[in-house]
Structure 1
């Protein structure tokens, strides 16, 4: 059975942000699917809730798992949700996880500031679309530039989704993850703020920092990101797992223990 890949997009965008990766994998003969989370893309009219977002990921993963081992790939909000899902109380059928641009705990002053900036941009006459387009023109190659907007921008969902993310207990979830795990960050990504903390939660994880890229690492240097996907697929194909000695304290407390990882503020 061959590796199956499930992609989970970031906030405001949709499954179309993965078009470059999906085209690459199709050429490689690797099966992949990209979901739309509630309130995004083809589901723009729906309300965003954590329950439905996690259910969407679970449904896609369990469907893919009927055909082979699953590599879950999430970017930004999709990465945070994927970490929470794989590290949940019930172990899902995921063989490996790539969490891109999401090594930041969505809580406290950092989240409040992010929401305040997003609201200020949203109050601009065009809801910040002129600014967004100028940023994309300056940073994203022409062949991937339209991918983020192709499914529409979920502007009405953004603040609700950000507020919901604060309920995730990522410290506990990441410490539970036992499958091969890759954190992928752009060199200039603002969400690298808790990078070292996430590495402490999951000592077996590999950290890959892509030079000369920002938060939109998947589109700025898609060939590099595709190479990381190939690495993850090869790792799963080889049957490699996270070394038990590197899983870190609190990740396997043993029967009857109620030890849990702490949830420190950023």
Structure 2
């Protein structure tokens, strides 16, 4: 965790099988102007021996928000995007803005069947799945971004329960319940963007951004650009928060 007296607090939420270390290069690029945290979710990283649930993951994010003052901008990728969105819907008073990356799809029908089957396979052979995942991460993201993904250890043994929880979460309802600004950010080549227009329509205050030539994870390689996107979102949220707090401003 980094801290600073100035700047909007930002909580980064990690993806499936990995841990909060995945965000280290981005947090470094964001710079010291913002207090930041990247908590491990239950079933991952330092908490890999704990059972995963959506409620438990949301509680982990809320705890991180409270440690940074009680309100923050949330940034999540993949599973982290689902969890960040669920947190925003359940605790809108704590979430000043939401950047949800690589999670604009509803895992239903054939996709859910394939997704669940992959989770069961990984959970049934966690050692091999962890090794394969580490190889794939490093190959897709050579250098610091790939190393950050594996630095906190991998947790394929919990993949099935995590995927089941995601499939059973009504993420559109969470988006609809959240009144604050939302950035839906997807790689142009990401298969998890198939319902992005439906997700955008569910937002009360949403915008959709595409990362050219990027897949599900490869946007992490563009560390400077991604950090700039996060800083821009933080600037928008800060301006709105300041205006709302001014005499006569909306609250």
TM-score (norm 1): 0.81
Task: Give the drift of 1:72.
Answer: 0.7
Equivalent-residue separation in structure 2 for 1:87 and 1:210 (angstroms)? 25
Counterpart check, 1:44 vs 2:48 = yes
Task: Give the drift of 1:22.
Answer: 1.7
Equivalent-residue separation in structure 1 for 2:237 and 2:154 (angstroms)? 34
Structure whose residues are more often helix by fraction? 2
Aligned to 1:65: 69
Structure-2 change in CA distance of 1:196 and 1:97 (3 Å): same
For residue 11 of structure 1, the aligned residue among 12, 16, 25 is 16
SS in 2 for 1:209: strand
Counterpart check, 1:96 vs 2:97 = yes
Maintained 8 Å contact 1:8/1:15: yes
SS in 1 for 2:169: coil
TM-score (norm 2): 0.86
Maintained 8 Å contact 1:217/1:225: no
Aligned to 2:247: none
Maintained 8 Å contact 1:35/1:56: yes
SS in 2 for 1:238: helix
Aligned to 1:85: 87
After the TM superposition, which of the residue ranges 2-11 and 199-208 deviates more from structure 2? Answer: 199-208
- Which ranges of structure 1 fall in alignment gaps of 5 or more residues? 242-266
Task: Give the drift of 1:151.
Answer: 0.7
